[in-house]
């Protein structure tokens, strides 16, 4: 080892001396310096075979030193030493790779002599192994490949692609793929893209390489989408996205993008299905020029993703100005999220920032389930990583997809099983939603379906006699493959359904619209569906409404029913009422429909209690609740929100006349009073308020107005069965 000369640059003298002792003991000659100028002088004069470099130093940081070493084409083996975290070390290793330096290892502080000796003795590892924290492969040194090798490989199309799936973070649905360059060299074996991309960038080969990537990815992607489109259960192929990495250097070359655009046309791939991934540092190098070209690319229709976000130092202002559609959280944070609080905070901050700028967020490097769950909780939009799927060659993608579907279905069935909701009795809280859906859409059939392994079972059914159907005949099997609404305008003309027994035989389904709903853990359980026997169209706004109603089903599934129910009357209690009323009011505001809130007060409740005892009081409340239930429609929301205070929220359609319903109530109460033998009659007052379309209101305002109307009615001597209504309107 005597020819080994080690030059150490470390601002901490003690560390420098410690390394010197170990290295000298191993037979090396050693020079130590704490100063960058002296370091570069020694480098020139003494020509060391090894360098140990501290990353954090006061006058010049280690990354700058790496840059300067790169410019001088230094071939010495470099060991990076530092007390900084793994991420910074990894970022530095990447930057060294970009400079073409020969990094043999990273030696984190506190200094460990054994690890140091192993590094000195070990052959140069593949740099990606270092970056990924894996062991060296012991292959011939891939760093000895040169630009000629690479140029040849590009020409001979030896660079191929692996595709890594991207899925919805919560839904798990396939969103697309990232195409990653792969080079299997005849002598050196697998060469990591970090290495040959850096060479391509330095030797002006990157645009040729990028074109080669597009030439392979586009026909594959186009064919994949077509095949998905033909697969009956995944009819959303048009939403799939193919992501391709673009070197920042290519941003100078507008003609490259014209060529890419032409290739997209050639292969019939829409530009908005292509996501160009640019690394953060690259994109921000020259903000003005970048902004210009990125804007043009966006205007053409390409989507833009900012890759490895969090590792560069872009300012918020730059990010706000750049026209990115997506931010990709760097894997160094994601991979350490379980151990490092800082990483978790960074991820959270990136997600919040991106969302506030109306950008989607994807996390890469997800290697385990807890990390995926953590990202779901933060509202991350998409997910990528070994836990979901490793990059695979084109011919293995379908295999992955098959496995993935099986795994997701198992997970779905497990979630359904945990809820114990199949084969339970009908419940008013679900029937209310189907009735509301039936009324709002004016369809003969509305269903809440749940899908288990071999059947579709109806948790709520309006207008349908059977309580379950075999799964193979269920439209909902298709719906649960969707993120949003599945609409079938005319089932008799749709090849997926035209021979379905429920289309060919009664009820002769023609129109179907189903919106999937999920368990709180994200698995799709079934769908809320509307069915008509006539063909029909549905507007985007109506689709949104169906989505809101499906959300209400999700909330019912997640809600703890016991906490929402008034134990005496079985009506909703205040909490249960308000939780649902707020949702319905939001729905009315979005859909521009009217709602009426009616406030009831049992006038003689105190009197009954005082005179006949609490049991008689309870009976009066119970009877009144029953009469309300009998009179109002099942789609109306009825609650007991205080001792003798009741409220009803009605969504008004053209066929709704609240005063007619109130008349009916008055008659029903009348009939009740006459039918009972005791003299405990029911006397009540009410106040009603009706919202105006497009006005801004909240539940509290409606309570206040209805209460005011109630008070006025009482003052006017409104009696049990008189419906003099002071109708206060918002």
Q: What is the rounded CA–CA span in Å between residue 66 and residue 63?
A: 5
User: Which of 571, 573, 527 minimizes the C-alpha distance to 550?
Assistant: 527
Complex with ligand C2E: residue 305 or 690, whichever CB lies closer = 305
Closest approach, Cβ 240 to ligand C2E, in A, equals 18
User: Which of 409, 542, 404 minimizes the C-alpha distance to 471?
Assistant: 409
Using CB distances below 5 to 8 A depending on partner kind, what does residue 636 bind out of Mg ion, ligand C2E, none?
A: none
Cα distances (Å, whole numbers) of residue 11 to 19, 51, 70, 95, 713? 13, 14, 21, 21, 85
Segment interacting with ligand C2E (CB under 6 A) among 284-292, 361-369, 444-452, 721-729: 361-369
Closest approach, Cβ 306 to Mg ion, in A, equals 10
Phi, psi at 84, each rounded to 5°: -80, 170
Segment interacting with ligand C2E (CB under 6 A) among 26-34, 280-288, 380-388, 422-430: 380-388
Cα distances (Å, whole numbers) of residue 694 to 350, 583, 593? 35, 16, 8
Q: Which of 51, 55, 197, 584 binds ligand C2E (CB under 6 A)?
A: 197
Complex with ligand C2E: residue 151 or 622, whichever CB lies closer = 151
Cα-Cα-Cα-Cα dihedral sign, residues 192, 197, 203, 204 = positive
Q: Which of 307, 578, 636, 644 binds Mg ion (CB under 5 A)?
A: 307
Q: Which of 180, 211, 422, 720 binds ligand C2E (CB under 6 A)?
A: 180
Secondary structure of residue 168 in the 3-state scheme = strand
Segment interacting with ligand C2E (CB under 6 A) among 143-151, 381-389, 443-451, 530-538: 381-389
Cα distances (Å, whole numbers) of residue 348 to 277, 291, 342, 376? 21, 26, 10, 11
Complex with ligand C2E: residue 365 or 526, whichever CB lies closer = 365
Closest approach, Cβ 599 to ligand C2E, in A, equals 57
Residue 259, CA atoms < 13 Å, CB-side half-sphere: 14
Closest approach, Cβ 335 to Mg ion, in A, equals 11
Other CB atoms within 10 Å distance of the CB of residue 626: 15
Closest approach, Cβ 278 to Mg ion, in A, equals 9
Using CB distances below 5 to 8 A depending on partner kind, what does residue 311 bind out of Mg ion, ligand C2E, none?
A: none
Tokens encoding 389: 């799927």
Cα-Cα-Cα-Cα dihedral sign, residues 203, 206, 212, 216 = positive
Closest approach, Cβ 271 to ligand C2E, in A, equals 18
| β-strand partners of 7 | 31, 51
Q: By CB under 6 A, tell whether 389 contacts ligand C2E.
A: no
Asked if the peptide bond before residue 507 counts as cis, ω within 30 degrees of 0, the response is yes
Cα distances (Å, whole numbers) of residue 717 to 453, 603, 661, 712, 713? 61, 11, 20, 9, 6
Complex with ligand C2E: residue 180 or 699, whichever CB lies closer = 180
Complex with ligand C2E: residue 332 or 631, whichever CB lies closer = 332
Number of residues that bind Mg ion (CB under 5 A): 4
Secondary structure of residue 728 in the 3-state scheme = strand
Q: What is the rounded CA–CA span in Å between residue 491 and residue 500?
A: 9
Segment interacting with ligand C2E (CB under 6 A) among 115-123, 364-372, 666-674, 694-702: 364-372
Contact present, 179 and 212 (Cβ < 8 Å): no
Helices (H), 526-573: 540-558, 561-564
Closest approach, Cβ 289 to Mg ion, in A, equals 21
Using CB distances below 5 to 8 A depending on partner kind, what does residue 180 bind out of Mg ion, ligand C2E, none?
A: ligand C2E
Other CB atoms within 10 Å distance of the CB of residue 10: 27
Q: By CB under 6 A, tell whether 645 contacts ligand C2E.
A: no
What does DSSP assign to residue 357?
Answer: T
Q: By CB under 6 A, tell whether 280 contacts ligand C2E.
A: no
Closest approach, Cβ 43 to ligand C2E, in A, equals 30
Closest approach, Cβ 473 to Mg ion, in A, equals 43
* Stretch 319-338 residues interacting with ligand C2E (CB under 6 A): 331
Residue 5, H or E segment: strand 5-9
Complex with ligand C2E: residue 331 or 360, whichever CB lies closer = 331
Complex with ligand C2E: residue 130 or 366, whichever CB lies closer = 366
Secondary structure of residue 680 in the 3-state scheme = coil
Using CB distances below 5 to 8 A depending on partner kind, what does residue 689 bind out of Mg ion, ligand C2E, none?
A: none
Using CB distances below 5 to 8 A depending on partner kind, what does residue 81 bind out of Mg ion, ligand C2E, none?
A: none
Residue sitting closest to Mg ion (CB): 277
Other CB atoms within 10 Å distance of the CB of residue 220: 19
Using CB distances below 5 to 8 A depending on partner kind, what does residue 644 bind out of Mg ion, ligand C2E, none?
A: none
Closest approach, Cβ 330 to ligand C2E, in A, equals 7
Contact present, 181 and 206 (Cβ < 8 Å): no
Q: What is the rounded CA–CA span in Å between residue 555 and residue 563?
A: 13
Q: Which of 100, 165, 176, 385 binds ligand C2E (CB under 6 A)?
A: 385
Q: By CB under 6 A, tell whether 247 contacts ligand C2E.
A: yes
Complex with ligand C2E: residue 174 or 545, whichever CB lies closer = 174
Complex with Mg ion: residue 207 or 636, whichever CB lies closer = 207
Give me the torsion for CA of 620, 621, 624, 626, rounded to 10°: -110
Binding track, positions 250-289, relative to Mg ion; x by CB under 5 A:
---------------------------x------------
User: Which of 599, 566, 544 minimizes the C-alpha distance to 428?
Assistant: 566
Q: Which of 12, 129, 132, 603 binds ligand C2E (CB under 6 A)?
A: 132
Q: By CB under 5 A, tell whether 245 contacts Mg ion.
A: yes
Q: What is the CA radius of gyration of the chain?
A: 34
Q: Which of 126, 234, 245, 482 binds ligand C2E (CB under 6 A)?
A: 245
Which stretches of the chain bind ligand C2E, using CB under 6 A? 128, 132, 164, 180-181, 192-194, 197, 213, 245-247, 277, 307-308, 331, 364-367, 384-386, 391
Interface residues toward Mg ion, by CB under 5 A:
245, 277, 307-308
């Amino acid at each position: 080892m005597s020819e080994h000369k080690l030059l150490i640059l470390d601002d901490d003298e003690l560390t420098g001396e410690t390394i010197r002792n170990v290295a000298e003991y191993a037979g090396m000659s050693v020079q130590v310096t704490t100063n960058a100028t002296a370091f570069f002088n020694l480098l020139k004069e003494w020509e060391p075979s090894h360098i140990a470099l501290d990353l954090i130093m006061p006058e010049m940081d280690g990354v700058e030193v790496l840059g300067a070493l790169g410019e001088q084409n230094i071939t010495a083996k470099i060991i990076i030493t530092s007390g900084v975290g793994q991420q910074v070390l990894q970022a530095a290793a990447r930057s060294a790779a970009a400079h073409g330096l020969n990094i043999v290892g990273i030696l984190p502080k506190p200094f460990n002599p054994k690890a140091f000796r192993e590094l000195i003795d070990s052959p140069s590892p593949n740099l990606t192994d270092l970056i990924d924290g894996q062991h060296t492969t012991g292959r011939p040194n891939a760093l000895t490949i040169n630009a000629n090798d690479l140029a040849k490989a590009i020409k001979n199309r030896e660079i191929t692609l692996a595709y890594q799936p991207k899925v919805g973070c919560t839904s798990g649905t396939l969103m697309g793929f990232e195409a990653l360059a792969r080079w299997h060299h005849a002598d050196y074996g697998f060469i990591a893209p970090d290495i040959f991309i850096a060479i391509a960038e330095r030797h002006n080969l990157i645009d040729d390489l990028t074109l080669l990537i597009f030439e392979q990815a586009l026909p594959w992607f186009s064919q994949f989408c077509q095949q998905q489109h033909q697969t009956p259960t995944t009819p959303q192929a048009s939403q799939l996205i193919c992501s391709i990495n673009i070197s920042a250097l290519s941003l100078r070359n507008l003609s490259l993008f014209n060529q890419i655009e032409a290739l997209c046309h050639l292969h019939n791939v829409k530009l908005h299905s292509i996501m160009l991934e640019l690394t953060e540092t690259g994109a921000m190098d020259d903000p003005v020029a970048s902004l210009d070209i990125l804007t043009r690319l966006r205007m053409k229709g390409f989507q833009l993703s900012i890759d490895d976000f969090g590792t560069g130092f872009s300012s918020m202002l730059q990010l706000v100005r750049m026209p990115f559609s997506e931010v990709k959280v760097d894997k160094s944070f994601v991979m350490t999220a379980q151990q490092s609080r800082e990483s978790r905070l960074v991820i959270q901050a990136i997600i919040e920032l991106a969302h506030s700028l109306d950008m989607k967020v994807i996390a890469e490097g997800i290697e385990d389930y807890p990390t995926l769950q953590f990202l779901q909780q933060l509202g991350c939009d998409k997910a990528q990583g070994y836990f979901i799927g490793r990059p695979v060659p084109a011919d293995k993608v379908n295999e992955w997809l098959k496995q993935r579907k099986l795994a997701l279905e198992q997970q779905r069935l497990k979630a359904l099983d945990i809820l114990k909701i199949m084969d339970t009795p009908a419940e008013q809280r679900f029937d209310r939603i189907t009735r509301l859906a039936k009324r709002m859409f004016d369809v003969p059939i509305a269903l809440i379906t749940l899908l288990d392994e071999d059947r579709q079972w109806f948790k709520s059914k309006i207008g349908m006699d059977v309580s379950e159907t075999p799964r193979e005949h269920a439209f909902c099997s298709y719906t649960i493959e969707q993120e949003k609404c599945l609409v079938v305008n005319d089932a008799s003309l749709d090849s997926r359904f035209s021979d379905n027994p429920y289309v060919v035989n009664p009820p002769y389904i023609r129109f179907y619209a189903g919106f999937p709903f999920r368990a709180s853990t994200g698995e799709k359980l079934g769908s809320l569906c509307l069915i008509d026997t006539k063909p029909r169209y549905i507007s985007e706004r109506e689709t949104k409404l169906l989505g809101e109603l499906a959300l209400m089903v999700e909330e019912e599934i997640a809600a703890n029913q016991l906490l929402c129910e008034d134990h005496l009357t079985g009506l909703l209690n205040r909490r249960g009422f308000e939780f649902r009323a707020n949702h319905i009011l939001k729905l009315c505001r979005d859909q521009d429909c009217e709602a009426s809130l009616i406030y009831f007060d049992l006038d003689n409740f105190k009197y009954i209690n005082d005179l006949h005892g609490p049991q008689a009081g309870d009976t009066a409340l119970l009877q009144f609740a029953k009469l309300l239930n009998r009179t109002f429609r099942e789609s109306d929301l009825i609650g007991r929100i205080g001792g003798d205070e009741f409220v009803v929220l009605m969504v008004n359609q053209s066929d709704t006349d609240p005063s007619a319903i109130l008349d009916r109530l008055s008659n029903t109460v009348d009939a009740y009073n006459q039918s009972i033998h005791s003299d405990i009659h029911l006397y009540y007052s009410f106040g009603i308020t009706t919202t105006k379309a497009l006005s801004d209101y909240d539940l509290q305002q409606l309570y206040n107005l209805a209460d005011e109307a109630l008070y006025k009615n009482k003052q006017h001597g409104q009696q049990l069965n008189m419906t003099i209504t002071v109708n206060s309107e918002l």
